[in-house]
C-alpha cells in the first residue's frame, strides 16, 4: 500500500509544493518512486519509531499527488509532492531544504533524482523576519 502516493489529494494554499524529476530503478513503478520521495523527505522511515504512536503522521507526511512522464525522456517522470507547513520550522530556509532535499538523494528505488521546482506559500514566507532595518 502506497500511503504516500495520494492522487486524490487536493493541494492547499499553505502547502509547500515540490516538483522532482525522478528516474526509477528498473522494475520500480513511477508511483512507487514518487511515494518513496514523499516518504523519505517527510515522515517515512525504514523502521518503527516509538514516537509514531504519539502523533498523527498523516498530518505531517508529504504526499506525492501527481506524476507525469517527461516528454522525450525514457523512464523519467516529474513527481509532484505536497508538504504541510507543520512539517517545517518557521523562518528556517535551512530546515526546509534539509527536509526536502537533504535526505532523499541516496535511496534504492531511484536511479536519479533532481529537484526541478519549489513553490513556497505566502504563509511560510511570512514567518521570516527579514532584514533588521
CATH number of the domain bearing residue 37: 3.30.70.150
Q: Does 7 reside within a domain? A: no
C-alpha to C-alpha distance for 117 and 17, rounded to whole angstroms: 8
> Does the model's pTM come out above 0.85?
no
> Is 130 within a domain?
no
**Range 15-31 average pLDDT:** 94
1 contacts 98 by C-beta, under 8 angstroms: no
Task: State the average pLDDT over residues 18-25.
Answer: 94
Residue 60: CB partners within 8 Å, gap ≥ 6?
42, 43, 84, 86, 87
In a domain, 1, yes or no: no
Number of domains in the chain: 1
Q: Where are the alpha helices (DSSP H) in the chain?
A: 30-40, 57-60, 93-101, 122-125
Q: Which domain holds residue 22?
A: 16-124
CA 34/CA 21 separation, integer angstroms: 9
Lowest mean pLDDT among 7-21, 63-77, 97-111: 97-111
Q: How large is the average pLDDT for residues 40-59?
A: 55
Least confident piece of the model among 4-13, 81-90, 100-109: 100-109
Asked if the structure places residue 42 within a domain, the reply is yes
| Whole-Å CA distances, 98 to 8, 48, 60, 101, 105 | 27, 22, 16, 6, 11
How far, in Å, CA of 100 to CA of 109, rounded? 17
Amino acid at each position: 500500500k502506497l500511503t504516500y502516493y495520494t492522487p486524490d489529494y487536493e493541494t492547499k494554499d499553505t502547502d509547500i509544493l515540490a516538483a522532482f524529476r525522478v528516474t526509477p530503478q528498473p522494475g520500480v513503478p513511477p508511483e512507487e518512486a514518487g511515494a518513496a520521495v514523499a516518504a523519505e523527505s517527510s515522515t517515512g522511515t525504514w523502521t518503527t519509531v516509538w514516537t509514531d504512536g504519539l502523533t498523527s503522521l498523516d498530518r505531517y507526511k508529504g504526499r506525492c499527488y501527481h506524476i507525469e512522464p517527461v516528454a522525450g525522456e525514457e523512464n523519467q517522470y516529474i513527481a509532484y509532492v505536497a508538504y504541510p507547513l507543520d512539517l517545517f520550522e518557521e523562518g528556517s530556509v535551512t530546515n526546509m531544504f534539509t527536509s526536502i532535499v537533504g535526505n532523499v538523494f541516496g535511496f534504492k528505488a531511484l536511479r536519479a533524482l533532481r529537484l526541478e521546482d519549489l513553490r513556497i506559500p505566502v504563509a511560510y514566507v511570512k514567518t521570516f523576519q527579514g532584514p533588521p532595518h
